[in-house]
Amino acid sequence: MRSDQERQFIAMMNANLELEVRQAITDGTIQRCGTKGKENGKDGAYVIHNARVPFGYGWNWANGKSCRWQADSDEPMPQKEIREQEKALAEIKKEREKGYDRASLQAQRLIDNASTMVDDHHYMFGKGVIGAGPLRVDSTTCSSPSTALITE
């Protein structure tokens, strides 16, 4: 990838998605990066495929924005490369969906294993919450059961 294309990619990701990409890694793997206000965080990510006409994708999980990118080129991209690009993006989407499914299953397990909390529980009583409806507490992931409330 040419340096002008790398600068183009970085400028677009930083401006459009509010990512903090300092140096673009172009090996086709997802790279985590910071976002505006959390420059050293990992709330953003991008991937660049270094094809004849480089292309990539970026995400900012903090603000929910995402976008596709393709380097400027005077030549039209051949159909084969377009198919390869679409295949790569479909794989990224598939991996993201797997992550969502894993998170959903983990959340459901937490809810299923949480015990019902009653109004006279010390946490509820201390907060002055009476008759809040069905609440559950998960004591398996916290040091104190009073720190993890799950509403149904």
**88-129 confidence digits (pLDDT tens):** 889 988 998 999 999 999 988 888 887 776 666 777 777 777
Residue 58 is predicted with a pLDDT of 93
Where in the chain are the domains?
Answer: 3-109, 114-151
Low-confidence ranges of the chain (pLDDT < 50): 141-152
Let me know: does 13 contact 26? Beta carbons within 8 Å.
Answer: no
Residue 104 is predicted with a pLDDT of 92
Q: What's the whole-model pTM score? A: 0.50
CA–CA gap between residue 10 and residue 17 (Å, rounded): 10
- Residue 25's Cβ-side half-sphere holds a number of Cα atoms within 13 Å equal to 10
> Counting Cβ atoms within 10 Å, is residue 93 exposed (0-12), middle (13-18) or buried (19+)?
exposed
